[in-house]
Amino acid sequence: MLAVCSALLVGLVASSAMAEGDAPKAPVAKLCATCHHDVPPGQALGFLENIALKSKTLQMDYMSHKGVIKFDEKTTVKNVTSLEDIRNYTGKGFQVNFTEKNGEKVASEIIRFDILKQVADDEKLDKAGFKQAMQQKGTVVYDVRPPMKYKEGHIAGAKPLPAPAFDKFKDKLPADKNTPILLYGVGGCLSPTTSLNLKAMGFTNVKIYFGGFPDWCKTDYGVTTPDWLGMAIEKGIPHVLIDLRAEQEVAAGHIPGAVGIPAASLAASQAMFPANKMAPIVLYGADKEKAAETIMAWGYKKVRLLPMDYGQWQTAGKPVSTGAAATKIVYVPMAKPGTISVADFEKVAMHTPDNMILVDVRNPDEAAAGTINNSLNIPADLIGQRMSEIPAGKEPVLFCPSGIRAEMAHNMLKESGMASVYLDAIIEIEKDGHFDVTEK
């Protein structure tokens, strides 16, 4: 049945509304503020999440929130070759100098942080060099990402030294300032910033794996923590948990949510695994290292080992289950805040409830080539100026070809106090309004 009750869909947008009285948040990431004190008005410091060239907007991640900044033909760039080149640095640190126009931020200059220039070439390691350096006697490896990222997955043997909380962890550093220290983060400014802090303290042998954990995960598995897995089970954080022990051992007791696949049967079980190659996969039981290598060879990028066996998990007082474990893997990714599912979008598009309106945030020439019937076309870069065109009492359902501009429009509306939802999927629209939506 394609008709959708408006009352059921109201809940989809409730979480997107800005609470009454919320003050605008400063466009500065906490990590950036540790080095850049007293950031002046008209300056944003954070991490690039997306850039949409057609709508001339970029979305910044300030760790506690996100924000959208426009740019135009007068915007200049530094430490990148062009606006198009900025796409190659998603997730990296940027400074954006901007002016306020009609309540919107418009960039005058976009600057990529190039802190790696302050690190000598012989202090930079690729993956091969990092692996070799790890074998040096007395070497200490530190993961400089935020604590929760470390708990979710890290390189075996690494200790946490989160860059945003460096001062809280520095008392745990080696007493010997000549200790070989290796740092890794996400390939951005976290490791260089930590390196500079260590050198200021007198450490003399600090090197950086500049590819960081994302590069590691392309070909190597990591390690999770019992704390993260326990939290994921309790809070329903999507993950795939595989118990590699024999069937009778699994039936006697296993970690809740585990799917029983004996190690000897794993190679023949590839079809059971999710299509999403970024699904977090946690392994425990017999031959888990070999199993991780097999699954990595299938293209999965978030394969983790649990650093304890079932008996240790049980002894630690963690939750357990008995009886037959699940035999089928079910993985449903957690939806991003503010999104509408593909299924619900299709229902809304076929029969739009009275309290909603479809908004196509592509440029007019794109919409003219085909858009969904009864949708309103407001380009993403103009959404703030043309909010009045959205009928009162109707929640906008935003869409574009890939979801990038729709998310930016969603955040611009959110900053202005208007609730909305957006489609984070791939949509192709024909001239007659027919469309096809696929998950990313």
What pLDDT digit, counting tens, does each position of 66-121 carry?
A: 999 999 999 999 999 999 999 998 888 899 999 998 788 999 999 998 877 778 89
pLDDT in tens, 242-283: 999 999 999 999 999 999 999 999 999 999 999 999 999 999
Instruction: Return the CATH fold of 6-11+337-438.
Output: Oxidized Rhodanese; domain 1 (3.40.250)
Q: Which CATH class is domain 116-216?
A: alpha beta
The stretch 23-30 carries a mean pLDDT of: 80
Residue among 120, 124, 168 nearest 147 (CA): 168
Whether 6-11+337-438 and 238-315 share one fold: the answer is: yes
The stretch 331-358 carries a mean pLDDT of: 94
Q: Measuring CA to CA, how many Å separate 406 from each of 42, 266, 363, 370, 440?
A: 25, 40, 12, 17, 14
Number of residues in the chain: 440
Listed by start position, the domains of the chain span: 6-11+337-438, 25-113, 116-216, 238-315
Phi-psi region of 214 (alpha: psi -120 to 50; beta: other; left: phi over 0): alpha
The architecture that CATH gives domain 238-315 is 3-Layer(aba) Sandwich (3.40)
pTM for the structure as a whole: 0.76
Q: What span, in angstroms and rounded, lies between the C-alpha atoms of 400 and 343?
A: 16
The architecture that CATH gives domain 25-113 is Beta Barrel (2.40)
Neighbouring residues of 91: CB distance < 8 A, sequence distance ≥ 6: 47, 48, 49, 186, 187, 188
pLDDT in tens, 106-153: 999 999 988 777 788 999 999 999 999 999 999 999 999 999 999 999
Tell me: pLDDT of 4 over 80: no
